[in-house]
């Protein structure tokens, strides 16, 4: 199916079902409300078939280009129908699991994720392994019929809503770095898993600290090869930076449109306002153009890799520029106002501060560009 026809059909269906799909809340809702609505939208898209395109038939999809998944998320975000962060998880985790886990495992576990009936989370970072992910120490020891996992993870988003977790564990020697890591697909309700939410500065329980205390994981939950977990992580990264970035870019575009509409109503055509608005737009378009290329490379079966750090740097600066512009051009709204719209701006403004930290900090991205794309040799 060609992207344009798909977008048109999808748009018509979204418009026709706007009553059901529009969130029952104004501005920013609680996480419970957001997750409930995310599931509803995901399920409705699945039932209407739009949510199944771009996924292989083996997991309940209808096949077709991953571009179609990019378009679904774009239209959802342009219309503000569901939380983009929740949506991120399936786009980040499912493609790699489908590719690298056993076909039986993904055929069994991915479909409920695709339908919005289930949620997954990602157990990568640890208190002592953030930017330096390869130094992680959460241990998995081979036992009869599987592994026993013990250790600690941090920044695990959505675990309180999740049934499964893609977990990176240490299976080699403690100093085996990226060579001794194994990826496992773990049931969150397994005995021995406990978690405590971490409250963010924008007042949400987005993620948690998770303890694994002798958690048994069956052998068939292996993703990729034993000690091949680094490959799994590297495989996930480009997905994190292709489809989901396209979705997030659409959300930023929508919020920028909201800002422009509001400024336009106020009749402010001053040089300073025009300059700020123009610069934000330029950054959004720069990202969108780059990301479009990335979507096509993914759709054409090209291997995405370290060059997606460029996409990450572009979307991060666009996002932070946008919400700084909101603060500059709607003075006092972020700091003082209380209506739902102001809450929305405040939440976005504060959350945008995380953009240069999560998924590899801004500095790590520049290190990657310097080392891998500019071939500048080792750092001192």
Partner 1 sequence: MSEFLDAEDAALLGASLAAAMLAAPGPDEADQALNDMGWPDLLAAAPDHGAAIAFTALGTTGSAATLLDDVVAHALGIPISPSVCVLFDASLHTNPAAPQPGDPRNLIEDNPYVLNGLVSSRIDRATTVLIAVDEFPGTEVAAVEAGLLREPGATGIDPDRAYRHLSAQVPADAVTPVEAEGSWEAAMTAARIALAYQLIGGARWMLAEARQHAMDRVQFGRPVASFQAIRHKLAESLVLIEAAESLAAECLRDPDPMKAALAKSLAGKAALTTATHAQQVLAGIGFTAEHRFHLWLKRMLVLDTLFGSARYLSTEIGRDLLIYGTVPRLIQL
Residues that bind partner 1 (CB under 8 A): 3-4, 7, 67, 70-71, 74, 78, 246, 253, 256-257, 260-261, 263-265, 268-269, 271, 273-279, 281-282, 285-290, 292-293, 295-296, 310, 313-314, 363, 365-367, 369-371, 373-374, 376-380
Alpha helices in the chain (DSSP H): 3-16, 18-21, 31-47, 67-78, 84-100, 103-114, 229-240, 243-266, 271-299, 308-329, 333-336, 340-352, 362-368
Provide CB contacts within 8 A for 309, sequence distance 6+. Answer: 241, 360, 365, 366, 368, 369, 372, 373
Catalytic residue (one of 240, 279, 338, 363): 240
Dmax (CA) for the chain in angstroms is 71
* Residues sharing a CB contact under 8 Å with residue 286, sequence separation 6 or more, in sequence order: 314, 318
- Cβ distance 83 to 39 under 8 Å? no
> Among residues 67 and 136, whose Cβ is nearest to partner 1?
67
Question: What's the closest the beta carbon of residue 267 comes to partner 1, in angstroms?
Answer: 9
| Least Cβ distance, residue 94 to partner 1 (angstroms) | 20
Q: How far is the CB of 257 from partner 1 (least distance, A)?
A: 4
Cα–Cα distances in Å, from 216 out to 140, 188, 199, 222, 224?
A: 9, 11, 29, 12, 18
CB of 250 to partner 1, least distance (A): 8
CB 320 within 8 A of CB 351: no
- For partner 1, give the closer residue by CB, 142 or 366: 366
Is residue 199 flagged as an active site residue?
A: no
Residue 349: helix, strand or coil by DSSP? helix
Choice between 24 and 378, CB closer to partner 1: 378
Minimum CB distance to partner 1 smaller for 161 or for 246: 246
Query: In the complex, what is the shortest distance from the CB of residue 183 to partner 1, in angstroms, rounded to a whole number?
Result: 29
Rg of the chain in Å (alpha carbons): 21
Give the residue with the Cβ less far from partner 1, 170 or 312.
312
d(CA 108, CA 55): 14
Q: Which residues belong to the active site?
A: 240
């Amino acid at each position: 199916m060609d992207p344009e026809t798909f977008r048109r059909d999808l748009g018509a269906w979204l418009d026709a079902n706007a009553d059901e799909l529009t969130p029952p809340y104004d501005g920013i809702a609680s996480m419970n409300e957001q997750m409930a609505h995310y599931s509803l939208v995901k399920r409705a898209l699945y039932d209407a078939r739009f949510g199944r395109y771009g996924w292989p038939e083996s997991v309940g999809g209808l096949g077709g280009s991953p571009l179609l998944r990019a378009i679904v998320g774009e239209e959802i975000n342009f219309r503000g129908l569901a939380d983009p962060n929740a949506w991120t998880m399936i786009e980040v985790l499912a493609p790699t699991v489908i590719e690298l886990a056993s076909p039986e495992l993904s055929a069994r576990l991915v479909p409920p994720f695709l339908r919005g009936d289930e949620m997954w989370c990602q157990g990568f970072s640890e208190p002592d392994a953030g930017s330096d992910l390869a130094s992680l120490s959460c241990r998995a020891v081979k036992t009869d019929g599987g592994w026993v996992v013990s250790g600690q993870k941090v920044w695990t988003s959505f675990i309180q809503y999740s049934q499964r977790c893609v977990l990176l564990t240490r299976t080699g020697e403690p100093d085996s770095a990226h060579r001794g890591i194994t990826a496992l697909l773990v049931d969150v309700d397994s005995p021995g898993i406990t978690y405590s939410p971490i409250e963010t500065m924008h007042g949400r329980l987005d993620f948690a600290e998770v303890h694994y205390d002798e958690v048994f994981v069956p052998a068939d939950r292996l993703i990729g090869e034993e000690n091949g977990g680094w490959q799994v992580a590297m495989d996930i990264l480009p997905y994190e930076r292709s489809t989901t970035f396209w979705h997030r870019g659409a959300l930023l575009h929508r919020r920028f449109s909201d800002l422009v509409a509001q400024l336009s109503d106020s009749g402010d055509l001053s040089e300073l306002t025009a300059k700020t608005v123009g610069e934000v737009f330029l950054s959004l378009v720069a990202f969108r153009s780059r990301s479009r290329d990335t979507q096509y490379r993914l759709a054409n079966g090209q291997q995405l890799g370290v060059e997606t750090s460029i996409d990450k740097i572009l979307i991060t600066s666009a996002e932070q520029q946008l919400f700084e512009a909101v603060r500059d051009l709607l003075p006092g709204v972020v700091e003082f106002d209380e209506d739902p719209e102001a809450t929305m701006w405040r939440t976005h403004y504060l959350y945008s501060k995380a953009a240069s930290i999560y998924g590899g900090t801004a500095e790590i991205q520049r290190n990657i560009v310097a080392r891998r794309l500019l071939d500048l040799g080792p750092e001192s």
